[in-house]
Structure 1
Amino acid sequence: MEVFFLLVLVLLMVIALTSGFPVAFSLPGSAILSIGLAALAGYVFEGNASAYFAQDGPIEWLSAGVTNFRSLYWDVERDTLIAIPLFIFMGIMLQRSKIAEDLLVTMAQLFGPIPGGLGITVVFVGALLAATTGIVGATVIAMGLISLPAMLQHNYSKPLATGTICASGTLGQIIPPSVVLIILADQLSNAADIANTSRAANYKQATGEFVMPSEFSVSSASAGEMFVGAFVPGIVLVFLYMLYILIYALL
């Protein structure tokens, strides 16, 4: 019966997601409904609400869900992660306000005389959007809607046009400020805290001293240090993309 209700869970998730419900409500809602159905079926047919649960019962499963929700809330509350929705909002504003489109037109006039100038413009604008939004989705969608028709109209091949847009859009992963770098810095900070706590406990157990020397502690890179380390590789990638398009256009 556990497999049956697992299939019910998957079916409810598929129905909820394909019906257009937000993912934030579809996933937990499907789980709660499946747990409720399993508990109700066990109570009706077996006289025990926990009969169709492989481990524990419905109360324990719901309690575990509440605990996970609390841990998620405390994770989101950290100062480092507050920047993520602000970057997403910035990307949406750039797309809706037509600033990205105006920037593309202006840069196209600047790089127009150069062979492959429109493709170089897309890379340049994509790098700027990546630096302001920090997310891939907003950059790729904005560049795709704005520049793909123009590139196809100027006889760019479909592989080159789509590849240029996707490659320039993914620069948001490495050019600061990057959401990925923020999350990575946050996770490294958590891992460093856990490692320092474990080392301090082991040091106390081995030596009997309460304070561990600083040379034994594990340090982590902050989000700012991540940004500094990723800036130069991001600029190098932009230059290489532009160089490739220029050589492709000349050949």
Structure 2
Amino acid sequence: MAETLAIILFALIFILILVGFPIAFTLGGISVLFGLVVFGPDFFYLLSLRIYGTMSNFVLVAVPLFIYMGMMLEKSGLAESLLDTMSLLLGRLKGGLAISVVIVGAMLAASTGIVGATVITMGLISLPTMLKRGYSVELATGTIASSGTLGQIIPPSVVLVLLGSVLNVSVGELFTAALIPGIILVSLYLLYIIVKSTLNPASAPPLSGEEISKFREKGMLKRILGAFILPFVLILAVLGSIFAGIASPTEAAAVGAMGATLLTVIQGKFSYKNLKEVMRETTHLTTMVFIIFVGATAFSLVFRGLGGDRFLAETIAQADLSPNAFITMVMLAVFVAGFFIDFIEIIFIIVPVVAPIFSALGVDLVWIGILLAVNLQTSFLTPPFGFSLFYLKGVAPPEVKTGQLYRGIVPFIIIQLLFLGLIIVFPEIVSWLPEVLED
């Protein structure tokens, strides 16, 4: 009976979220009602202890710090400088501007980890330029939307911080394991753009010689150094301190937040107005994440109290599924869920349910964390509710149609799925760097 109630709870919450009810209040509200009916008033005491334990988790302090870092870098103007310089450096190549967008997207991902800020910034700066220079709408929008989501997999990533907390694995180890997959994914994006622009040069024309020569005449070296040194210093400070074992991810996030503020001061973009906007947005996003966390804690407590996790584990055991078959089933479920609900919802609803089963099957949870991060990245890209598409559509010129956005993103979704399969077949992609650093 209790197991049946657990499945009803899970199904009811999932359906209500799909219908459009707010996730935080749906997760928390329905779970508290179930908990009160099944366990009585003592449930509130248990829930308060669990929430306090979650909120006192030092690792989660990295979330607001990384969000602040990303928002402050958006104000610094570094993205604009990077894109402008990179596009002129690669301007002679077919698809050079699109290649620049991917590289800058990767650098911003390694500096911020905030998808919304990256997509909006690159959409405002590069989309009008790409369209003006004759790029096809599909290639331009697909490149920007997909490059903006690299912050989901390239550390430091808020997604990896949340996954580390839910899976109960080291966030630093997840960051280390994600670096090589992130580099490979960037390389696959670049390979697609090079092949596409070679086969169809009209979709990605090079810059004119006049623009290139004008750039080279006016202090080219100074511009290059100014555009690249500051972001590299920040990336080195944040990721270098984690990989070298000098700082924990939370401490490195604090370094990044301070570094982003100093970079904004150096760029002459720091002001009380900007600081106020950054702090307001950081507070808004952090509050959203943590109120969902509270709801997820209530759900997890009730679901496990009703024996839902035990029921699922026994069902999997009776079905005699191999670990690979179960992984494939979960990845498919996460991918389909990504069409309809946000990555935070998936992390807090689906992952806590399947994590104990992965542990029971003896699967490496760090590897699972990277698989989930890559899969969740596609939730930002998949129509009709891909948030990256929403962000880009919001800042795109009126002539860019939703259908063009959807068509443009399809090749990148295919790349994501092929890459996901590659990590499943060759887990060494994830485990190689952590093993090397341990030696």
Give me the TM-score of the superposition, normalised by structure 1. Answer: 0.61
Whole-angstrom distance in 1 between the partners of 2:36 and 2:51: 23
Q: Quote the offset at 1:249 in angstroms.
A: 1.2
Alpha-carbon distance in 1 for matches of 2:36, 2:71: 45
Structure 2 match to 1:92: 71
Unaligned runs of 5+ in 2: 1-15, 200-439
1:227 and 2:161 matched: no
**Deviation per CA, 1:154-189, whole angstroms, max 9, x where unpaired?**
111121111111111111111111111122222222
Separation (CA, whole Å) in 2 of partners of 1:235 and 1:126: 12
Please tell me whether residue 139 in structure 1 is matched to residue 118 in structure 2. Answer: yes
What is the identity, as a one-letter code, of the residue corresponding to 1:239? S
**Total equivalences in the alignment:** 180
CA deviations over 1:18-60 (Å, ceiling 9, x no partner): xxxxx98xx49xx6xxxxxxxxxxxxxxxxxxxxx99968xx7
1:187-209 deviation per Cα after TM superposition (whole angstroms, max 9, x unaligned): 222xxxxxxxxxxxxxxxxxxxx
RMSD: 3.3
* Among candidates 77, 80, 85, match of residue 106 of structure 1: 85
User: Is the partner of 1:250 in helix, strand or coil?
Assistant: helix
**1:143 corresponds to which letter in structure 2?**
M
Give the whole-Å Cα distance in 2 for the aligned partners of 1:158 and 1:66: 55
Identity across matched positions, percent: 52
Q: CA deviation at 1:229?
A: 1.2
- Out of 17, 28, 53, the position equivalent to 1:74 is 53
Q: Which residue of 1 aligns with 2:153?
A: 174
Maintained 8 Å contact 1:87/1:132: no
8 Å CA contact 1:88–1:138 kept in 2: the answer is no
Residue 194 of structure 2 aligns to which amino acid in structure 1?
A: L
Superposed, 1:46-85 pairs within 5 Å as 68=47, 71-85=50-64
Equivalent position of 2:266 in the other structure: none
Report the counterpart of residue 125 of structure 1 in structure 2: 104
Separation of aligned partners in 1, 2:35 and 2:100: 58
SS at match of 1:177: coil
Q: Separation in 2 of the partners of 1:93 and 1:237?
A: 26
Instruction: Report the secondary structure of 1:228's partner residue.
Output: helix
Deviation at 1:73, TM superposition (A): 4.6
Match of 1:43 in 2: none
CA 1:149–1:229: 2 relative to 1, 3 Å: same
Q: Deviations over 1:106-138 (max 9, x none)?
A: 111111111111100000000011111113222
With 134-143 and 112-121 compared, the bigger mean Cα shift is at 134-143
| Higher-Rg member (1/2) | 1
Pair 79,161 (structure 1): closer, same or farther in 2 beyond 3 Å: same
The amino acid that maps onto 1:233 is P
1:77 CA displacement: 2.9
1:239 aligns with 2:218: no
Contact 1:116 1:249 in 2 (8 A): yes
Shift of 1:79: 1.6
Q: Is the 8 A contact 1:133 1:177 kept in 2?
A: yes
- How far apart, CA to CA, are the structure 1 residues paired with 2:179 and 2:105? 15
Alignment-derived partner of residue 133 in structure 2:
154
Where in structure 1 are there 5+ consecutive unaligned residues?
1-9, 18-22, 32-52, 190-220
Quick one: distance in 1 between partners of 2:115 and 2:55? 20
Maintained 8 Å contact 2:35/2:43: no
Q: 1:54 to 1:141 in 2, by over 3 A?
A: closer
Tell me: CA distance 1:77–1:243, structure 2 relative to 1, closer, same or farther (3 Å). same
Contact 2:98/2:140 (<8 A) preserved: yes
Question: Using CA pairs below 8 Å that are at least 6 residues apart, which structure has the higher relative contact order?
Answer: 2
Residue 163 (structure 1) aligns with = 142
CA pair 115-66 structure 1, distance change in 2 beyond 3 A: farther
Residue pair 1:134, 1:177 contacting (<8 A) in 2 also:
yes
User: Offset at 1:68?
Assistant: 4.5
Aligned amino acid, residue 244 of structure 1:
Y
Q: Distance in 1 between matches of 2:35 and 2:54?
A: 28
Aligned-partner Cα distance in 1 for 2:35–2:171: 41
What is the rounded CA distance, in whole Å, between the counterparts of 2:35 and 2:65 in structure 1? 41
TM superposition shift of 1:245:
0.9
